[in-house]
A and B are shown apart, each in its own frame.
Chain A
Amino acid sequence: MVVSVAAVFLIPGPWRQVERVGSTVLAPLQMGISETLTEATGFVDTVQRVRTLAAENAQFRDELDQLQSELVRMHEIEVENSALRNLLSFTERTGPGALIPVSVIGRDDTPYVQAITIDRGSGDGVRQDAIVVTHKGLVGRVERVNPTSAKVRLINDLNSSVGVRLQTEARTTGVLRGQSQGNSLVIAYIRQDDPVEKGDTVLTSGQGEIFPEGLVVGKVARVERKDADPFQAAVVEPAVAMDKLERLYVLADSGQ
């Protein structure tokens, strides 16, 4: 026991090897059970929904009509979006191999840790500090890589920090931190005279050299301002629901 405790604090190197072996052995089991559970949940869900399918079908027909009209409008937005991306020198990541699709096979969801395990590791090109996203925005970064799996610290983890800026003319910057519970994030230490409004879009600032610039993080949900304080804080609603992560992507050219 004493040796174990001493090893934890003094010689982390050998432990890393043991963890690597343990993860390699357990990851396939995690994958198998996780996939089976997903399939089973999907099947049960379908059976439960048989009664409502007819009503939903009619509803979807109405929605289809509406969506077709919106499609035209979306095309215009896409053109505008493309122009804005060029303005921001935003790298288009649509080339083959730019994104590594990954699935969540495990999750740590405690007040101390908000992290997930994904089903791809160093053998698949996932690197330390690689960025994990969904089509909606930033999820976290890879902190430990094993041959067949990797552990990702989510941005809502208490010990996570991301350099961010607001998508406003003032380009207010700050450091986004996770909170121990719940899905919200906080940008602390924003100067009182920096403009922050509810609904402002929060993007990564590129400071800190881990997270690339311009990834969507979320929107400002609330501003906490006290006259006596030299700083204000912004509570951010993440673009990605951290408690419902399934299909994610690792940015292949990120990390080291």
Chain B
Amino acid sequence: MRFLVAAGLLIAAALLQSIVGPSLPLIGSRPDFVLVVVLAWAMLRGSTEGAVVGFLGGVLLDSVAYTPFGVQSALLGLAGYLTGLPEVNVYRGNLPYFFGTAALATLAYHTLLFLLLQARGLGMPPLIQTYAMALPAALMNPILLAPTFMLCRRLLRALSGWTQLRL
């Protein structure tokens, strides 16, 4: 059931990223909606669920995006796994760590995406242009992560309460 909730959030994020995202060029860039959901889930549920949700988000993003299929799945799976490695409690009440992790994950994601696409033989722009997009995203993603984190936490708690009620 938890994964159905995650899937719903990921589908919404993937659609948002493919339709609304590019039309709203905030600061000449756009937030990575799917990455934000994956980070929030990984922070709440740990590395295993983070990796699964990341992989699922990547598959969805690969379906709507134009990059070679599988690249986003691998990257977001990795992002979910690594973000979920620290104890869940580390993120609670530790805002610099919370926002810093999101910013760092965004920069790492964009750098690895660049390198993976280059490894696939695609002609790529200079790395500086990647960072022209990645740096604003590294500012926007942590801001977006805060409400997404709270939404995910609320959904998980509601789900937990509902499950206990059924038992």
A residues with a Cβ closer than 8 A to B are 1, 4-5, 7-9, 12, 15-16, 18-19, 21-23, 25-26, 29-30, 33-34, 37, 105-113, 115, 117, 151, 153, 158-159, 180-181
Chain B interface helix/strand/loop/mixed: helix
The answer to whether the Cβ of B51 comes within 8 Å of any Cβ in the partner chain is yes
By a CB distance below 8 angstroms, the chain A residues around B119 are 9
Do A1 and B22 touch (CB < 8 A)? no
Do A8 and B123 touch (CB < 8 A)? no
Do B114 and A8 touch (CB < 8 A)? no
Do A108 and B132 touch (CB < 8 A)? no
Residue of B nearest to A112 (CB): B117
| Contact A1/B132 with A30-B64, A37-B19, A108-B67 known, Cβ cut-off 8 Å | no
By a CB distance below 8 angstroms, the chain A residues around B60 are 22, 26
By a CB distance below 8 angstroms, the chain B residues around A181 are 125, 129
Number of interface residues of B (CB under 8 A): 42
- CB within 8 Å of A: which B91-150 residues: 113-114, 116-117, 119-120, 122-126, 129-130, 132-133
How far, in angstroms, from A113 to B68 measured CA to CA in the complex? Answer: 11
Do B64 and A109 touch (CB < 8 A)? no
B residues with a Cβ closer than 8 A to A are 11, 14-15, 18-20, 22-23, 51, 55, 59-60, 62-71, 73-74, 77-78, 81, 113-114, 116-117, 119-120, 122-126, 129-130, 132-133
17 interchain pairs, CB-CB under 8 A: A4-B73, A4-B77, A5-B74, A8-B71, A8-B116, A12-B70, A15-B70, A18-B59, A19-B62, A22-B63, A26-B63, A106-B18, A107-B18, A107-B19, A115-B66, A117-B18, A180-B124
Residue of A nearest to B122 (CB): A159
How far, in angstroms, from A110 to B130 measured CA to CA in the complex? Answer: 9
Do B22 and A107 touch (CB < 8 A)? yes
CB distance from B132 to the nearest CB of A (A): 7
Q: Which residue among A4, A5, A34 has the maximum number of chain B CB atoms within 10 Å of its CB? A: A4
Closest 4 A-B residue pairs measured CB to CB? A22-B63, A180-B125, A8-B70, A115-B66
Contact pick for B62, options A22, A25, A158, CB 8 Å: A22
How far, in angstroms, from A117 to B63 measured CA to CA in the complex? Answer: 10
By a CB distance below 8 angstroms, the chain A residues around B123 are 158-159
Q: Which residue among A23, A111, A115 has the maximum number of chain B CB atoms within 10 Å of its CB? A: A111
Contact pick for B122, options A4, A112, A117, CB 8 Å: A112
By a CB distance below 8 angstroms, the chain B residues around A9 are 119-120
